[in-house]
Amino acid sequence: MSATLASARIGVLTFPGTLDDRDAARAVRLAGGEAVSLWHADGDLQGVDAVVLPGGFSYGDYLRAGAISRFAPAMDAVVDAANGGMPVLGICNGFQVLTEAHLLSGSMVKNDHLHFVCREQVLTVENAATAWTNLYAPGQQITIPLKNQDGQFVADERTLDELEGSGRVVFRYSGWNPNGSRRDIAGISNERGNVVGLMPHPEHAVEAGFGPADATGPRGGTDGLAFFTSVLASLVHA
Amino acid sequence: MGRVVVEVMPKPEILDPQGKAVVGALPRLGFTQFTGVRQGKRFELEVDGDVTPEVLVAAQQAAEMLLSNPIIEDVVRVADAAVESVA
């Protein structure tokens, strides 16, 4: 199994204005995978087994967050691969790109209080069966950083009911809703569970000494690492 | 050179945090009569030549595909800027 894990190649897609691609690549490596850098203008995904769309401000968030990135050549390939079952994770701006690309439902608007938020956020894992959450326990509470201004998840009531009814609410904010997101939703998946998007940042909580505070110390938290080990596990079982 | 105007507004059911901030600032300047503000976007698309019906159709498509997100916004106007200024 370890040989298969080591050979799993996870693409990290960089747009102009992406900030967290290096952290995402590092998270992939810490989880035991090989990180492959992908460039937005290149329509070739280089045979990767999964793709991470990292956080940042692609195209300066001009027009709407994620709106212009959606039409990058690499996104056509990502949409095709996602529809074919390839695991895709969108973090923060990456989540916004996935909603603009219609791979995920709903959209993000400005935080209800209009402020940029940067905090260590507690989430409840609502669905531990997706490609990116299978090593968490249902109902598990995790703490990972949250940092954004356009983080308020919105969708119409019918879409929200559909997401709830089909188990596609993957994460909910716990304790405090930091941005006015409908029904405290922090992250969702597509129907198949291979595409997941969330506003908080698992890739910033993958190595003790550089993560959020936890029981082991001020920066001991590594609750985000299981995103990346989960996808490697799902590739082994695929 | 022709110009097409496209206007996009947040959907009525979506709370508009930016508009809310603006309506909060108006009374401080003495404008107490405005009870609500919604903030949208105006695009001006330039073309070589006249704004033909085909250009307007293309502008409508561009408005729906790129300039707006139908989940949170409505395209409320696609018009020839020249006609607009006469009206």
Residue ranges covered by each domain of chain B: 2-86
Q: Which residues contact A33 (CB under 8 A, 6 or more apart)?
A: A5, A6, A8, A9, A10, A228, A231, A232
Query: Any chain B CB within 8 A of the CB of A106?
Result: yes
Residue B15: its pLDDT value, please?
83
Task: Give A89-136 pLDDT, tens digit per residue.
Answer: 999 999 999 999 999 999 999 999 999 999 999 999 999 999 999 999
Instruction: Give me the phi and psi of A178, to 5 degrees please.
Output: -80, -5
Residue A89: its pLDDT value, please?
98
Residue A1: its pLDDT value, please?
46
> Domain range spanning residue A217?
2-237
Cα separation, A236 vs B69, whole angstroms: 37
Task: State the count of interchain CB pairs (< 8 A) between A and B.
Answer: 35
Residue A236: its pLDDT value, please?
86
Residue A4: its pLDDT value, please?
52
Q: In chain A, how many domains are there?
A: 1
ipTM of the complex, rounded to two decimals:
0.82
* Mean pLDDT across B18-44: 94
Helix residue ranges, H only, B29-68: 53-62
Beta-strand pair B73-80/A50-53: unpaired
With cut-offs at 50, 70 and 90, classify the pLDDT of residue A215: confident
Q: With CB atoms and an 8 Å threshold, state whether B17 touches A110.
A: yes
Residue B14: its pLDDT value, please?
85
* Best of A59, A61, A62, A64 to mutate (most B CBs within 10 Å, chain B): A64
3-state SS assignment for residue B63: helix
CATH for A211: 3.40.50.880
Nearest CB among B10, B13, B17 relative to A114 is that of B17
Q: Give yes or no for a contact between A200 and A170, defined as CB atoms under 8 angstroms apart.
A: no
**CATH fold for the domain made of B2-86:** Mth169; Chain: A , (3.30.1280)
With cut-offs at 50, 70 and 90, classify the pLDDT of residue A3: very low
Beta-bridge partners for A147: A118
Answer positive or negative: Cα dihedral of A161, A78, B57, B8: positive
Question: How far away is chain A from the Cα of B66, in angstroms, using its nearest Cα?
Answer: 7
Average pLDDT of chain A to the nearest whole number? 95
Tokens coding A223: 């609750």
